[in-house]
């Protein structure tokens, strides 16, 4: 869903032309790398140090770590890498020079892709793709007469596994309609994904070979972008759940067109089987891209809840009981898709910072020094 949210950001910028601060470990100027002062705001240096910009053009996002933290798999639409819409790439983030060299593409180069994730062993990935519905990039929705911003839910999305040479190994889903947004449990045994197979956008889990599919959510609304806790026992996800008759009608009417509105979303947490479901945030506007802190006791996420015009998006952290909301980033553009490495030492995220005034969204990796 990276492209859709970046289009929202561009729209907001065109139209537009707190939480409690927490005590964290401090670092001295000498301990920071020379580019921290260029890429980080002073308030962010309580949480990040030794930041590194990985990409330098196009829209790059949804970067996820290999189980050994040596590689990142991500999606990009960077035209200089020979693609017309989002495709899946892999990088050795410590050593590759993506400013001057294209990374290896792992998707087919056909259709549109989303949400890639490493499988155990670091030799295969899972990702969503529309390529069985056609080789061309599926069309983006035209501007609506009612002015509402929408995401397309392409029915041709299915979930596949591939090796590090880009060869498709298996098709994990073959139900009619949207199947995408797959992520893998740190335990390596389960995949959670979003599907339209019931007529609504619900969460499901399956084994990593596609077997034993189980429905996790069942309330009307868009449930998506789910991630497992470090021990695999819980799920965190974003949801837009209409309540009033007017909201329900709008949601269902748009869904018939293969569309959803992503401008009103909150975070929910539950056990991995769907039990003990709780609403984690009630901040208003768009709260999304959640990911568990390595402790399993906190969630980092993206939000524009302090922005009356819907802009900017920044990163926040909150305890899993809904307390202790803390602002992490302080940029004036777009920070989202934060993901901690498996060892908890690093964080990767996407940002519009340092893009020279363009619309490019790039990947950044930093050492995490927050609590």
Tens of pLDDT, residue by residue over 230-267, are 999 999 999 999 999 999 999 999 999 999 999 999 99
Confidence (pLDDT) at 275: 98
Which two structure tokens, joined as six digits, stand for 55? 């990409």
Q: What is the pLDDT of residues 200-219, one digit of tens each?
A: 999 999 999 999 999 999 99
Which two structure tokens, joined as six digits, stand for 233? 């026992």
Beta strands in 229-276 (DSSP E): 234-240, 259-260, 266-271
Please report which confidence band the pLDDT of residue 23 belongs to, taking 50, 70 and 90 as the band edges.
very low
Mean pLDDT in residue range 122-134: 98
Asked if residues 89 and 105 have their Cβ atoms less than 8 Å apart, the reply is yes
Mean pLDDT in residue range 320-324: 98
Sheet (strand 214-215) strand order: 179-184, 190-195, 202-207, 214-215
pTM for the predicted model, two decimal places: 0.91
Q: What is the pLDDT of residues 327-344, one digit of tens each?
A: 999 999 999 999 999 999
Q: How far apart are CA 338 and CA 305, in angstroms?
A: 17
Please report which confidence band the pLDDT of residue 149 belongs to, taking 50, 70 and 90 as the band edges.
confident
Q: Is the pLDDT confidence value at 7 over 80? A: no
Q: Is the pLDDT confidence value at 302 over 70? A: yes
Confidence (pLDDT) at 121: 97
Q: Is the pLDDT confidence value at 193 over 80? A: yes
Sign of CA dihedral 313, 59, 121, 51: negative
Q: Tokens 């330098």 label which residue?
A: 56
Confidence (pLDDT) at 89: 98
Q: What is the pLDDT of residues 88-118, one digit of tens each?
A: 999 999 999 999 999 999 999 999 999 999 9
Angle at 142 between CA 139 and CA 148, to 5 degrees: 130
Please report which confidence band the pLDDT of residue 148 belongs to, taking 50, 70 and 90 as the band edges.
confident
Question: Would you tell me how many other CB atoms lie within 10 Å of the CB of residue 276?
Answer: 9
Q: How far apart are CA 124 and CA 118, in angstroms?
A: 6
Going from the N-terminus, what domains does the chain have, and what CATH number goes with each?
2-368 (2.120.10.30)
- Residue 243: Cβ-neighbour burial (10 angstroms; 0-12, 13-18, 19+): exposed
Q: How far apart are CA 328 and CA 211, in angstroms?
A: 39
CA 221 remoteness from chain centre = 19
Please report which confidence band the pLDDT of residue 145 belongs to, taking 50, 70 and 90 as the band edges.
confident
Spatial CA neighbour of 221 closest among 180, 179, 252, 244: 252
Share of residues in the chain with pLDDT > 70 (%): 91
Spatial CA neighbour of 49 closest among 58, 40, 61: 40
Q: How far apart are CA 198 and CA 26, in angstroms?
A: 50
Q: How is 47-72 classified by DSSP, letter by letter?
A: TEEEEEE---SSBEEEEEE-TTSS-E
Confidence (pLDDT) at 35: 79
Which two structure tokens, joined as six digits, stand for 169? 């190994």
């Amino acid at each position: 869903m990276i492209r859709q949210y970046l289009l929202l950001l561009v729209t907001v910028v065109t139209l537009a032309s707190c939480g409690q601060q927490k005590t964290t470990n401090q670092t001295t100027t000498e301990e920071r790398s020379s580019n921290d002062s260029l890429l980080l705001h002073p308030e962010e240096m309580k949480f990040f140090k030794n930041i590194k910009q990985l990409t330098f053009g196009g829209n790059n996002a949804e970067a996820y770590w290999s189980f050994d933290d040596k590689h990142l798999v991500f999606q990009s639409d960077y035209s200089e890498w020979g693609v017309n819409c989002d495709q899946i790439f892999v990088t050795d983030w410590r050593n590759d020079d993506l400013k001057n060299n294209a990374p290896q593409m792992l998707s087919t180069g056909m259709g549109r892709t989303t949400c890639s994730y490493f499988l155990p062993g670091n030799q295969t990935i899972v990702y969503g793709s529309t390529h069985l519905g056609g080789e061309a990039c599926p069309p983006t929705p035209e501007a609506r007469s009612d002015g509402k911003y929408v995401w397309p839910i392409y029915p041709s999305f299915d979930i596949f596994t591939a090796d590090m040479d880009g060869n498709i190994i298996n098709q994990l889903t073959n139900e009619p309609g949207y199947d995408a947004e797959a992520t893998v449990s740190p335990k390596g045994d389960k995949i959670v994904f979003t599907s339209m197979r019931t007529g609504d956008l619900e969460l499901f889990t399956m084994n990593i070979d596609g077997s034993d599919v189980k429905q996790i959510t069942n309330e009307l609304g868009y449930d998506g972008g789910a991630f497992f806790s470090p021990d695999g026992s819980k799920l965190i996800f974003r949801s837009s759940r209409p309540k009033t008759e007017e909201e329900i009608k709008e949601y269902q009417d748009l869904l018939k067109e293969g569309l959803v509105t992503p401008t009103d979303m909150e975070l929910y947490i539950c056990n991995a089987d769907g039990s003990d479901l709780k609403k984690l945030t009630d901040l208003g506007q768009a709260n999304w891209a959640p990911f568990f802190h390595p402790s399993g006791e906190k969630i980092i996420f993206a939000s524009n809840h302090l922005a009356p015009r819907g802009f900017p998006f920044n990163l926040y952290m909150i305890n899993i009981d809904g307390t202790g909301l803390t602002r992490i980033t302080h940029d004036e553009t777009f920070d989202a898709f934060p993901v901690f490495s498996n060892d908890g030492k690093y964080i990767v995220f996407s940002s519009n910072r340092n893009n020279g005034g363009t619309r490019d969204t790039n990947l950044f990796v930093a050492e995490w020094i927050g609590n």
